[in-house]
């Protein structure tokens, strides 16, 4: 089987609305390495969009899944329960950085978790409005799409979107937006567009994902906590991409000491199996009447078994600590590349732990982004055997999402490929 043949079959039977970062089809994968159907090897710096913090096919995840497959694959938890769901909820409740008693409900996708977090916040507060941030990404379903702070390609052509959503600027020093600007915008919303007493929730990513791996300043998160407390607003931390060791903590918001009311999780929770959830203060979580939450596949027993193994792996292999070690190594390498005259101009190296990104720039030492150069670098990296993704409001950023289990030698090999992709023609 050849990649081109599969591309042609894909084009004939699958709509073009499903994007494709790379023109390959995978035959097998192991930890941080992937082989396509033509036998070509790739180093994975994408992790299925931040899903594989414990790598492809971690043996302990595979063992847990195989055990569960011998028991049952599906009953629908709201029809007949199973212990794996309960055990996972207990573990997540104990881990979440939330004040007081907590409860967890499980779903299948990150967007589904976000949608249900909003439902819970609205039910608990009897209010309708939600404040989100420009550049934020919360999913492609309708409410999640409305919350997402980027028009193309996520919103264009799909309107009208659900109402009651208000966006404010997200702070980023190299974009000239300060925490004060963000807070002033919220104050302006309260005065001009929606009363504070009508706001059910504020939702924020501790580090923006699609928006460019921009960390939310602790000052902002602390101010949002104060605003939420003052006005009875639910503070939602969207940890879909930041959770489970990626930033050097189990949850990204732990870097700030701020305790949210609800946390949405997904992606790396189940090591490649579809699973998401909302963890929250028990009083909020119990605001919805029986039957108001759930889903046929929500909290699949197979995915729950995988997730329990993932949490053990993160603990036993100290992956949060490893995220910091790897991140320091990668950041130092990128900062050295930033000084090289033979490479594309790059800068704004950023991110906690191993949630790292940088921008391609129009000129060395400047701030103006160069999205076209970013696209070129990604294409060269793919051609050289490195799976790599972009992000950012303009597509100007390159994000590094290697598994936290990646061997040092494979990480170095991937960084060498990245360096090659950054080299200026003829240099």
Mean pLDDT to the nearest integer, 195-211: 97
Residue in 275, 350, 353 with CA at minimum distance from that of residue 318: 353
Residue 373 neighbours by CB under 8 Å, 6+ apart? 344, 345, 360, 361
User: Which H or E element spans position 15?
Assistant: none
∠ Cα 290 308 46 (to 5°):
105
Residue 89 and residue 103 in contact, taking contact as beta carbons nearer than 8 Å: yes
Q: Is 264 helix (H, G, I), strand (E, B) or coil?
A: strand
Q: Is the dihedral of CA 99, 101, 106, 111 positive or negative?
A: negative
Per-residue CA distances from 370 to 20, 43, 347, 394, 397 (Å)? 21, 25, 11, 9, 9
Residue in 250, 220, 262 with CA at minimum distance from that of residue 352: 250
**pLDDT recorded at residue 311:** 98
**pLDDT recorded at residue 19:** 87
Please give the CATH topology (third level) of the domain spanning 62-316: 3.40.640
- Other Cβ atoms less than 10 A from the Cβ of 136: the count is 22
Residue 166 and residue 132 in contact, taking contact as beta carbons nearer than 8 Å: yes
Question: What is this structure's pTM?
Answer: 0.96
Residue 251 neighbours by CB under 8 Å, 6+ apart? 95, 96, 97, 206, 237, 239, 242, 243, 263
Using N-to-C axis directions, what is the helix angle for 408-422 and 319-337, rounded to 10°? Answer: 30
Checking if the pLDDT of 406 tops 90, the result is: yes
**pLDDT recorded at residue 1:** 82
Mean pLDDT of the chain: 96
Checking if the pLDDT of 60 tops 90, the result is: yes
Give per-residue burial for 393-409: e unless 16+ CB within 10 Å, then b. bebbbbbbbbbbbbeee
**pLDDT recorded at residue 217:** 97
Q: How far apart, in whole angstroms, are the C-alpha atoms of residue 185 and residue 236? A: 19
Residue in 401, 391, 355, 357 with CA at minimum distance from that of residue 137: 391
Common-topology check for domains 3-54+318-422 and 62-316: no
Q: What is the pLDDT of residues 313-325, one digit of tens each?
A: 999 999 999 999 9
Please give the CATH topology (third level) of the domain spanning 3-54+318-422: 3.90.1150
Residue 257 and residue 92 in contact, taking contact as beta carbons nearer than 8 Å: no
**pLDDT recorded at residue 427:** 65
In the chain, where are the structural domains located? 3-54+318-422, 62-316
Place of tokens 């050097």: 248
Q: Which of 21-25, 69-73, 149-153, 200-204 has the lowest mean pLDDT?
A: 149-153
Q: How far apart, in whole angstroms, are the C-alpha atoms of residue 256 and residue 238? A: 14
Which 8-state DSSP code applies to residue 86? H
Kindly state the percentage of the chain with pLDDT values over 90.
93
């Amino acid at each position: 089987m050849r990649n081109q043949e599969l591309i042609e079959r894909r084009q004939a039977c699958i709509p073009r609305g499903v994007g494709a970062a790379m023109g390959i089809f995978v035959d097998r994968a192991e930890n941080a390495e992937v082989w396509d159907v033509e036998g070509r090897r790739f180093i994975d710096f994408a992790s299925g969009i931040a899903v594989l913090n414990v790598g492809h096919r971690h043996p302990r995840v595979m063992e847990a899944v195989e055990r569960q497959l011998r028991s049952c694959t599906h009953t629908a938890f709201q029809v007949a329960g199973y212990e794996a769901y309960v055990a996972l909820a207990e573990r997540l409740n104990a881990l979440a950085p939330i004040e007081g008693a907590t409860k967890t409900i499980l779903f299948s996708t990150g967007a589904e978790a976000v949608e249900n977090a909003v439902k819970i916040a609205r039910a608990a507060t009897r209010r309708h409005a939600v404040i989100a941030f420009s550049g934020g990404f919360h999913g492609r379903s309708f409410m999640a799409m409305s919350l997402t702070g980027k028009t193309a390609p996520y919103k264009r052509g799909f309107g009208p979107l659900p109402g009651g959503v208000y966006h404010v600027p997200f702070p980023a020093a190299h974009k000239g937006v300060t925490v004060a600007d963000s807070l002033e915008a919220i104050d302006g919303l309260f005065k001009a567009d929606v009363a504070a007493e009508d706001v059910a929730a504020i939702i924020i990513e501790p580090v923006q994902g699609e928006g460019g791996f921009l960390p939310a300043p602790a000052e902002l998160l602390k101010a949002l906590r104060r605003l939420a407390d003052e006005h009875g607003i639910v503070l939602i931390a969207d940890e879909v991409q930041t959770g489970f060791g990626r930033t050097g903590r189990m949850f990204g918001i732990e870097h700030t000491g701020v305790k949210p009311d609800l946390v949405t999780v997904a992606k790396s929770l189940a090591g490649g199996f579809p699973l998401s959830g909302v963890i929250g203060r028990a009083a909020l979580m119990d605001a919805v009447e029986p039957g108001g939450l759930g889903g046929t596949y929500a909290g699949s027993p197979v995915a729950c078994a995988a997730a329990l193994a993932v949490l053990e792996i993160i603990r036993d292999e100290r992956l949060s600590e490893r995220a910091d070690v790897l991140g320091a190594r990668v950041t130092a390498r990128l900062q050295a590349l930033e000084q090289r005259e033979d490479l594309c101009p790059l800068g704004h190296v950023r991110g906690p732990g191993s949630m790292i990104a940088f921008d391609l720039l129009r000129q060395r030492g400047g701030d103006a982004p160069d999205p076209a150069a970013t696209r070129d670098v990604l294409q060269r990296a793919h051609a050289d055997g490195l799976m790599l993704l972009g992000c950012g409001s303009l597509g100007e950023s390159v994000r590094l999402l290697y598994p936290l289990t990646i061997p040092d030698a494979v990480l170095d090999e991937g960084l060498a490929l990245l360096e090659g992709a950054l080299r200026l023609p003829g240099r």
